[in-house]
A and B are shown apart, each in its own frame.
Chain A
Amino acid sequence: DSGVTQTPKHLITATGQRVTLRCSPRSGDLSVYWYQQSLDQGLQFLIQYYNGEERAKGNILERFSAQQFPDLHSELNLSSLELGDSALYFCASSVGGRLNTEAFFGQGTRLTVV
């Protein structure tokens, strides 16, 4: 158990819909990272928040947005969903703010868009 909690574990929704994925970081960790893992694209870094502020941005689509709240939990919002958005979405957390800091991953949310 990494200490990072993601909910829900599975999500099935229709194209065009909007979903919110939630992440609770390890106690004491200030950084939260979001990743997408799909069969064709592999694991891709989406975005990082550090202590409530956006710190780094990767290959995140404009239809996707994230935020980190004062209690440090984070949410990833995915809108206007397409079939190609079906993937595993991972959240990770770390104490530090550098991208190469040791981060601990949650078990992921499997999103299926039908």
Chain B
Amino acid sequence: TQLLEQSPQFLSIQEGENLTVYCNSSSVFSSLQWYRQEPGEGPVLLVTVVTGGEVKKLKRLTFQFGDARKDSSLHITAAQPGDTGLYLCAGELVNYGQNFVFGPGTRLSVLP
């Protein structure tokens, strides 16, 4: 059983479109991170959110942490081919000791 679920699993869109990917759990997280991973590379951290309800913006990317700290979303405005990759959410669990879990990822393909 995945402690973190991500949806959609796959997403293929045209350049210029907007999209939102979701990261959900029934568990509470002390913090949550979003990463992007490209083929043959390790994940690269995009953002860390720590406060329930927090919204962070990184250029065309907007990240939101749910009020109850159980879910998060990533919204990309005017997607570009360079946004293509595997988007992973990951979090530090509150009630599982020192453990850090990753979601299965959303594989995004932005077509020119």
With an 8 Å Cβ cutoff, the count of chain A residues facing the other chain is 23
**Majority SS at the chain B contact face:** strand
Which residues from chain B contact A92 at a C-beta distance below 8 Å? 42
B109 to chain A, nearest CB (A): 18
Contact A42 B105 (CB under 8 A): yes
Quick one: which of A2, A4, A100 contacts B100, CB cutoff 8 A?
A: A100
B48 to chain A, nearest CB (A): 6
Q: List 6 A-B contacts (CB under 8 A).
A: A42-B104, A98-B92, A99-B99, A99-B100, A100-B92, A102-B48
A5 to chain B, nearest CB (A): 11
Q: Is residue B101 contacting chain A, with contact meaning CB distance below 8 A?
A: yes
Contact B99 A100 (CB under 8 A): no
Further contacts, 4 of them, CB under 8 A, given A90-B43, A100-B33: A43-B102, A57-B98, A99-B99, A107-B40
Which residues from chain A contact B103 at a C-beta distance below 8 Å? 42
User: Which residues of A are in contact with B by a Cβ distance under 8 Å?
Assistant: 2, 4, 42-45, 48, 55-58, 90, 92, 98-100, 102-108
Which residues from chain B contact A4 at a C-beta distance below 8 Å? 42
Per-position binary interface string of chain B over residues 78-112, scored 1 when its CB falls under 8 Å from any chain A CB and 0 otherwise: 00000000001011100000111111110000000
B103 to chain A, nearest CB (A): 7
Q: Are A107 and B41 CB-contacts (below 8 A) given A100-B33, A100-B48, A100-B92?
A: yes
Q: Is residue B18 contacting chain A, with contact meaning CB distance below 8 A?
A: no
A6 to chain B, nearest CB (A): 9
Q: Is residue B11 contacting chain A, with contact meaning CB distance below 8 A?
A: no
Contact B100 A45 (CB under 8 A): yes
Q: Are A100 and B42 CB-contacts (below 8 A) given A55-B98, A57-B98?
A: no
